[in-house]
Amino acid sequence: MRKAIVIKLLLTNPSKFTNFQIEEFKKLGYEISTWIDEFEPLSKDLFDSDVVICNSLFMHNKLSNFNQLKMIQLTSVGTDRVPVEEIKKKGIRLENAGDVYSIPMAEWVMLKILEIYKETRFFEEAQYKSLWRKNRNLMELNGKVIGVLGTGNVGIEVSKRAKAFGTKTVGFNTTGNSVNTFDVCYSIQDLLSVIGEIDILVLAVPLTEKTMNLINAKVFNTMKNNAIIINVSRGRILNEADLIEALDKGKVRGAALDVFSEEPLSANHQLWKNPKVIISPHNSFVSDNVEDRLFQVIFKNLSSLIT
């Protein structure tokens, strides 16, 4: 009798998955090993894995250490934490999390826009002090123009929700090609010529050499006065020093940031104390449904690898 082929799967940070889900992976025919801390060098006996499910593993372990890797399945959407070109050269299949996190991230974006426009901090502070204070400085979303840098899954979900508030949605992508749900799309290269029309700029684009430090003083100086900026992509797309200067000058009304150039954000960073900035710790993707969606995406990809 011919010996059954064993496909070795390395699962990092296994707490993302339930015992039932891990058993479902095993039923497909995978022999599973786990590694809890991606920041620690891997045990050498795991370098013969055929498949790796991970997030930041290859920031701390060399791809060349793996001698028979067939697929890398990321639990993140962004691919900036893996050596993409090296993976391509080796013919290794690379999969990301697809649209798993798009809905909670889009909901977070809309929440923060409304928090800034409706000045919720003002009323929270008044309530804390038991003060009956009105605020005549509130704004409405209806009629505003929302620019979304990145027309992928997150950008599309943002556009859907923004249009329900009566806004015009403008998308920016690498080609300028039209994308459903957006009223109009432009190339990212056209950003400076269009930015003066935009009330709200949402960053939902992958980090690449071309997008790194893309939102800088030149962009802020060209923006419409009183515009706001929301970042759910990667911190290094936005020049934080230039943002602070634009906020201090009153050019930008407010910013909501879920990602930063260095994470975690240092305790003495100026952004923490800026009253015009809303901060969350790379948390916008979290919801009660993402773990099940992530399992479905990974299960489908693992199934296709062995059929």
pLDDT tens-digit series, residues 195-220: 999 999 999 999 999 999 999 999 99
**Cβ contacts of residue 173 below 8 Å, gap of 6+?**
150, 151, 179, 185, 187, 188
pLDDT tens-digit series, residues 104-116: 999 999 999 999 9
Q: Which of 32, 69, 66 is nearest to 47 (CA)?
A: 66
pLDDT tens-digit series, residues 3-46: 456 899 999 989 889 999 999 999 999 999 999 999 899 999 99
- CA gap 108, 255 in Å, rounded: 13
Q: Is the pLDDT of residue 127 over 50?
A: yes
Q: Which domains does the chain have, with CATH numbers?
A: 7-100+288-306 (3.40.50.720), 102-279 (3.40.50.720)
**Cβ contacts of residue 227 below 8 Å, gap of 6+?**
198, 199, 200, 201, 251, 252, 253
- CA gap 194, 174 in Å, rounded: 15
CA atoms within 13 A of residue 180's CA, in its CB half-sphere? 2
**Cβ contacts of residue 267 below 8 Å, gap of 6+?**
none
Q: Using N-to-C axis directions, what is the helix angle for 102-117 and 120-128, rounded to 10°?
A: 70
Upstream peptide bond of 104 is cis (omega within 30 degrees of 0): no
- CA gap 34, 65 in Å, rounded: 17
